[in-house]
Structure formats: structure tokens, C-alpha cells
Structure 1
């Protein structure tokens, strides 16, 4: 792979104890998650990686304390292709937009998800959006996981984007989520303060990592709304905005989000399975095999902030989506 030195960035890293024995391409894929592992392997294969000054191959296994250097090309800069995708607009004025994001929609283009994104839908529908976040994230001020539904803010201008970002950084924006969790929640309400960093073994997960150099402080408040046997619904208010924060913190207290493939170990649930989790010993009924939910039961229900232009308080809410509501209906019927 021929690289232009004027556009190539030197990435440097000292191998940590937790990374000892990993293949260099696998380690780099975790550290540099803006790039695909296939792309990074190609860079290494073409002589772009050095360990203690020696060029290595993708299969090279690193050791703690070694110095890794990588000649890193810039990430793709092409903007999203506009796509005619329906959007549920909760609020719009001359300055900003609030979208009710559906399950299964990725917010912005990334490895493996170049089409069908919220960014592509926004590019098609709106003529003017901020570009503070880069060409791949037009207007997008914050993000939600692919299978998390609910309110997401979009800025029409750079000035609005920066003012909203400042509110997020100062933690003056109030975000409220609604979740259905599995297990017995010991307390009616609590605050979880645990740092979050990369999972030591699974690159698509995050974990509580108290001493990891990439860990960042994280705080989540929760309150139980309804209790059922083996399941509960909770209101969650994250005070920070770390990747997978709510999912990791709820798992940490022993009650992962229902149907969370990464942290709960299952990705769908039927009516019969809901009843079994409630320890209901009822005879099978018609409709028990109907799948009620096929994604994590997490919804960004409410966001409250100061309008960046008028200075007035603004609250935007999204109703509980039908799939989560169907689970609640079965729980409440018993």
C-alpha cells in the first residue's frame, strides 16, 4: 500500500500487560476502532507497522512494554450518500431538529454500515446541516447505539452545534432513558459511579476498567418504575455520555438490559419466555412463540436543554416504542 507521507499520521503505543500475546492486527483494531481490521491488516502487511523499530507482519504477537509504531493513513472523508429514508421528526425550527430514531438505524457511516444511516436520511431531507462533526456526521450532535430508540438532536448550523455540544460537555442537558432489565434490582434507586473502558477480550464491548489508561469516569442514576418477578422497568439518567454506558452500568449491578445481545446474552424474547422469566408455571397458550422484542430494551425517552438561540428551556419526549410496550403489556397482564 503506497502511502503519501504528507497525509500519513504516526500512531504510537506501548503494549500494556492486558495486551500481552495479542496479534498486532487485533490489538490495533481495538485501539483504532475508526478503521476496520481488514484495512489495518493491509497497512501492517504492507510494512506500515514496527515493533521496537523492526517491521512486523499482522500475525506478530506483541509483548508487554514493546513500542509499536504505525504509519496510519487518514480515515475516509467522503460524506454520506443522501437516501430517501423516512424520519419521525419530533421537533424542528430554524436552528435544530429532534428525530425519533428507530431501532436498527446506525447514526452515522462507519465500517460495515455505509448506507441506511441517520446521516444519509438527514442529508436527503435537510438542505443545511452543521459540519462541526465532520463530513460523515452532518448535523449530528450526539449519538445512540444502533438498537437504542428515541430522541436524538441535530443542528442546522455550526453555531448551534457548538452551543449544544457545550451543554453536553457541561452536563447541563438532562437525558432520561427508559429500560426494561432482567434480574432482581436490589435498590429502588441508586447512582452507579464506575469508569468505563474497552473490554479486555471482546472488541465490540465495553467494561468497568478502573485502572485502564483508556477508561473514563462515568455516572448513571437509575430508579425502578415497576417491579415484576425477574424483570423490572427503570428510569435511567446518565450524567456522562460514555459508549454503552447505561448498558454496562446496569449489567454491573446485576440487571442487564433485556435482549441486550452483548451484555445479557440473549437478543430476542417471546411472550412465553417473558412469562417464564416471571416464573409463571402456566400451561402453554396460543401466541406464546410470538417474538415481542428483538433488540435491547433501551429507549431515549426525554431530553431537556436550553435552546441555543432563544435561551428558553426546551423539553422533547418520545413515546415508548411498540416493541417495548408489548413486553410491558404482557408483564402487566400477569
Structure 2
């Protein structure tokens, strides 16, 4: 059994459903998070790290329908991550940092449910030095990308470089551009989306547009339409803040969810049939089976020399294939179509 360590920095928040009403909260939390024992949750509750409707409770509290529960889960220690021989594409590397072109489907660092096969496991095989500033489970990791988002991610080799890069993120002097293929098309060619983002009230894996009193925090995304198609568009997005799932939530909010984004678009794939009709030959061919979001460009100052750096990553094959299919089957200027 893994042993429990310190509490997570960010709480998990969710709403109690009617079917679990009147259960002790320690029993309820254990059933919802089976990796943790009931005795662990009793200690977490005693430490004041479980809030119900904004107030601490005792382990004997009976949960009620529509209770809003916020819990700081203990981190689980499976030991330091081990080096694994996993191929990586390095865009840049020197003695202070490396920049990796992360493939889709790769989790950045070990966590519950993903203790191997992560970017950290691969980095420990490929690099001799990694910063320790983020702890033993996340060596070298300065920022993250979602599992199914591809593209550029910074890796610090030394603690000094890590702190310098973290300061740039905090001061918002590192600039990022993403390319996203979306369903629908914005009415404007470019715009800012300024909507507060916080934990979803009922779905613990999602984020949502929230009010300040519900945990919403400032989130700003600039977008520009690069190419339009019938029913779809290619957008260039620049997040001005760094909230979890920010681009995905903002684009879904304006009615243009990212293609194949299971959480926010409701579908985890795009097929050729979606573009040309279900009765067409080869209609079942999957064009992409992950969210069509790619971290395309980074601007930063070198953490040691201060020299300006600009790094780019071309579109991966799956997103490029979607664009080829859209140009072939969904051009705006197709005769007789609107």
C-alpha cells in the first residue's frame, strides 16, 4: 500500500447526489476515493481539510443532497519515478533547460492512475540532470500540458533555471501560442475571452465558468481565426493567464468547442463521416481521437543568459490530417453550399 504524504495544493470540489444522502462523510469520501482508507479521511477531516458548504465538519457528519464538498486530498507516495526508455523529441537543449515536443496521450508527471509512462519517466532516461524545485515526483517540471494536448513544454535542468522560469510564468513574461481546431466558428476574426474559471460544481474532472464567490479566478484568452471551413475553424490562441483547461473551457463557452474534446465537446473523436456524411465510403475512418489542441510556439528569456528565445513546433500528423480533410470536404467556397 502506498503511504499518504502531504495534502494537495489544490482542493477537489464536487456536489453530493441524492443517492448517497445520509452517509457518514468519511465513508462517503472513502467510497469516492478508494485509494485512501477511511482512517486517512478521518485524519484529513480532523485537520480541517474537508469543507462542506464552506464549513469544516466532523467525521460523523451525514452528507445531504446538494452539499458542496471541498477536500484537500493527501498525495500518494509510490516512490520516486523511475527512468523509462520512452522516445522524446527535443526541440532545444543546453545546460540549463530543455524544450520537449510532447506527443498527445502522454501524462506530464506521475499521479494517481498514471505512475509510469509519463514525461518525467522519459526525462529521467534521456537527461542526466533535472531540477528538484517541484519535488521528487516532478523533477524538471515547470509547467504542464493536458495529457491529450501536444506540443512544447519547458523542462528545467537546474534549480536556478527552474526558479527563473517560474518567475517568468508568475510575471506573465513567457508567452504561449496554441493552435486549435474547433467545431463551429467565432463570429469575430479575433477577440478576447475574459471569463472567470473555477472547479465545475458537479463534475470533478472539469472546470467551468464560475462567479468569484464560487471559486472563479481571472482567466483571459486571446484568439484569432487562421482559417475558416463550413462548420469548423482553425484558431490561434494565446492564453494570458494559466488556468486549468483554460483554452478548452473558454472556447466551449463561446460555442466553439475543440474538436474531439471529450470533456467539453462531448465526443472523443472526429470521423470522415462527420465531414461527408455517415453513408459515404470510409465514413468510419477516425481523423483524430484526442482534443485538437497543440502548443505551437513559446517566447521566453533564457533563464541563465536572459537572451530572448522563440521556439516552435509544427502541427502533429493527426491535426494536419484533419485540416487536409476540412480543406477537401468543407471549404467555405464550395459551390451551392453555405
Equivalent position of 1:91 in the other structure: 92
Match of 2:59 in 1: 55
Given the alignment of the two structures, is residue 262 of structure 1 paired with residue 296 of structure 2, yes or no?
no
Q: Partner residue of 2:320?
A: 325
Show the counterpart of 1:192. 193
Cα–Cα, structure 1 residues 190 and 114, in superposed 2: closer, same or farther, change >3 Å? Answer: same
- 3-state secondary structure, aligned to 2:77: coil
Residue in 1 aligned with 2:292?
297
- Following superposition, the deviation at residue 188 of structure 1 comes to 1.0
Instruction: State how far apart, in whole Å, the 2-side matches of 1:179 and 1:9 are.
Output: 34
What SS does the aligned partner of 1:103 have? coil
Root-mean-square deviation (CA, aligned residues, Å) is 3.3
Structure 1 stretches of 5 or more lacking a match? 30-35
Contact 1:270/1:292, CA 8 A, preserved across alignment = yes
Query: Kindly tell me: are residues 64 and 327 of structure 1, through their superposed partners in 2, closer, same or farther at Cα, counting changes over 3 Å?
Result: closer
3-state secondary structure, aligned to 2:86: coil
TM-score of the aligned structures, taking structure 2 as reference length: 0.82
Give 1:140 deviation, angstroms.
Answer: 0.8
Q: Once the 2 structures are TM-superposed, how far is the Cα of residue 185 of structure 1 from its aligned partner?
A: 1.5
Q: Contact 1:189/1:224 (CA < 8 Å) preserved in 2?
A: yes
Decide whether aligned partners of structure 1 residues 274 and 27 sit closer, same or farther in structure 2, where only a CA change above 3 A counts.
Answer: farther
Match of 2:233, SS?
A: strand
Q: Deviations over 1:115-164 (max 9, x none)?
A: 10000001111111001011111101100000000000000000000000
Give the C-alpha shift of residue 39 in structure 1: 3.0
**Match in the other structure for 2:305:** 310
The change in CA–CA distance for 1:25 and 1:88 in structure 2 (over 3 A counts) is farther
- 1:143–1:26: structure 2 CA closer, same or farther, 3 Å change rule? farther
Range with bigger deviation, 99-108 or 76-85: 76-85
Q: Call closer, same or farther: CA 1:186–1:67 in 2, change over 3 Å.
A: closer
TM-score computed with the length of structure 1 as normaliser: 0.83
Match of 1:37 among 25, 33, 58: 33
Do the aligned residues in 2 keep the contact of 1:48 with 1:55 (CA within 8 Å)? no
Partners of 1:259 and 1:65 in 2: CA distance: 32
Give the aligned length.
313
2:72 pairs with 1:76:
no
- 2: CA distance, partners of 1:17 / 1:93: 43
Cα shift readout 1:302-327 (whole Å, capped 9, x = no counterpart):
00111111111101111100000001
Give the CA deviation at 1:41: 5.2
For structure 1, which segment, 143-152 or 38-47, has the greater mean C-alpha deviation from structure 2 after superposition? 38-47
* Counterpart residue number, 2:49: none
- Give the deviation of 1:64 after TM superposition: 8.5
Q: Distance in 2 between matches of 1:19 and 1:311?
A: 50
- Give the equivalent residue in structure 1 for 2:144: 143
Contiguous gaps of at least 5 residues in structure 2: 47-51, 330-338
SS at match of 1:327: helix
Q: What does the per-residue CA deviation read over 1:60-106, in whole Å, with 9 as the maximum and x for residues that have no partner?
A: 31589999999x75642722111100000111111100000001000
Distance 1:189 1:153, change over 3 A: same
Cα distance in 2, alignment partners of residues 73 and 177 from structure 1: 33
Once the two structures are TM-superposed, the CA of residue 45 in structure 1 deviates from its matched residue by: 6.7
Q: Which residue of 1 aligns with 2:103?
A: 102
Contact 1:176 1:301 survives alignment (8 Å): yes
What does residue 32 of structure 1 align with? Answer: none
* Per-residue CA distance 1:8-59 (angstroms, 9 max, x = gap): 7799x9xx99669777469969xxxxxx8113453367676468764328xx
